[in-house]
Structure 1
Amino acid sequence: MMKMTHHPKSDQAGPAVLAVNVGQPRPLPGQKREVLSGIVKTPVSTQVFLSFTGLAGDGQADLVHHGGPDKALCVYDYSRYPALEQLMDRRLDWGAFGENLTVTGCPEEVIRIGDVFELGEAVVQVSQPRQPCFKLGARYDYKELPVYFQESGHTGFYFRVLREGEIGPGSAFRRVTTDETSMTVMEANRIMHQGKQDAAAMRSLLTISALSDSWRETLLQRLDKLDKENN
């Protein structure tokens, strides 16, 4: 087993930004046909502008499933890195999973749908968990990776942008509002991936006004299918 070494973690008690990562679509390796993906991202060293649809200099190949106002920023907590380094037996750099923000202090058990953060000059809000796709596994030639994300619930999450502004490595980052009655990212993941027959839980998740349109549509379709099966 390789010896793992890690970037130094922030010594701040609360949430902190370790890296702001951007990248442009490029072909994924090992595919039978060309598949473009923006999953390969690298940290910036200066401030970048965050608009309502994402970071300057960042891009997505699949605009149906990635990007857009509800998914302007992908966020991943660095505390998940050590387990994934052990799983894949490799060293990982910031932005390893295509996230725009590599952070500390934001595990899925703590962050709730609808939480609002100040981030540099910007203000952002949690809209949904990230849904892992095959491109995560393709990047590292590790097909089981999306299943690991899904089953562990360690998916990361998305921000929508409420106020545009400049952000960068080391930007001030703090949660300014939270609703203790809202669901955590971990709870939402459980409902989406393990609770596909749990109509009550899906309806409860749908009551959260900050939930993204795409998740809302998926849950409504599942409920409609359950209703038809039960009638």
Structure 2
Amino acid sequence: MMPPTLLTGPVAPLAGSDATSAIAKTPVTGRLWLGAEGFEGDAQADRRVHGGPEKAVHHYPFDHYAAWRADLGELSLLDAPGAFGENVSTLGMTEDGVAVGDIFRLGGALVQVSQGRQPCWKLNRRFGLPDMARRVQDTGRTGWYYRVLQPGPVSSGDELLLIDRVAPGWTLRRLWRAMYVDRLNRAELEAIAALEVLAEGWRRYARRRLDSGRVEDWRPRLEGGT
């Protein structure tokens, strides 16, 4: 695997909306400090749903870009990393092989996979497609988030090295399938609810489904906004 590209971005107006967003990320060179809530110089516009310790770093595989070009055509947005708001871009890592709880060393920091990425409506504005967030959710090409176990300095040339696997059976692909495809599989939901290394928000969804026997309505998150 090639060393990752690191990306950050400021809050800026979101095209096609009255809202602001920091979804537009651009590559950075040199050394950055990675703290408990993300990289220095990176921002999130809506801290209610973005950022925080369980979403400190967003990783999106550049491996998926070819599939998106096949689906959407040759969009200039897909010419380089940063289209999906990612802080880390790599080739050779996807949801099929990365698991919840995986611990990586990145430069002087330690990070741990905390959850999959739940796409929101801002991807629709970013790509100029009214259903882009749903496409991301439906394909499982979502990316994932890290929590920071050990803050430290990180440079663009630093390798992302796997240190430990806490729950190797729980790949992000399996988590995605349980939450978005086989959505009321009680055995999987019970396992998710008990998966302590998974971010609490996802475990709460699993518990609600177990209690109610229903799947929550994703439409406001996928289609909402102004």
Q: Is the 8 A contact 2:113 2:146 kept in 1?
A: yes
1:30 and 2:46 matched = no
Q: Runs of 5+ in structure 1 lacking a partner? A: 1-13
Partner of 1:168: 155
Amino acid at match of 1:131: Q
1:50 partnered with 2:34: yes
1:135 aligns with 2:135: no
Residue type at the aligned position of 1:51 = G
In the other structure, the counterpart of 1:198 is: 185
User: Under a length normalisation based on structure 1, what TM-score does the superposition of the two structures give?
Assistant: 0.86
**Aligned equivalents of 1:106 and 1:122: distance in 2?**
19
Letter in 2 for 1:37: S
Superimposed CA distance per residue, residues 77-104 of structure 1 (whole angstroms, 9 cap, x where no aligned partner): 1110111123222132111110000112
Q: Distance in 1 between matches of 2:144 and 2:44?
A: 16
Aligned letter for 1:70? E
Q: Is the 8 Å Cα contact of residues 24 and 58 (structure 1) preserved in structure 2?
A: yes
The one-letter code sitting in structure 2 at the alignment partner of 1:61 is A
Q: 2-side partners of 1:181 and 1:125: how far apart? A: 13
Secondary structure of the 1:167 match is: strand
Q: How far 1:45 sits from its partner (Å)?
A: 1.3
State the number of aligned residues.
211
Matches for 1:7-22 after TM superposition, within 5 Å = 14=1, 16-22=2-8
Does the 8 Å CA contact 2:194/2:203 hold for their aligned counterparts? no
Superposition misfits of 4+ residues, deviation over 6 angstroms: none
Structure 2 SS opposite 1:151: helix
- Match of 1:159, SS? strand
* Alignment partner of 1:222 is 2:206: no
1:5 paired residue number:
none
Equivalent residues of 1:69, 1:160 under 8 A apart: yes
Calculate the TM-score normalised by the size of structure 2.
Answer: 0.88
- Does structure 2 conserve the Cα–Cα contact (< 8 Å) formed by 1:19 and 1:168? no
1:177-219 Cα distance to aligned partner (Å, 9 max, x none): 1146531001101111123322221111222221001112222
Q: For 2:63, which of 71, 79, 89 is the aligned residue?
A: 79
Give the Å deviation of 1:20.
0.6
Structure 2, unaligned runs of 5 or more: 215-226
Residues 41, 102 of structure 1: alpha-carbon distance in 2 compared, 3 angstrom cutoff: same
CA distance in 2, matches of 1:47, 1:121: 11
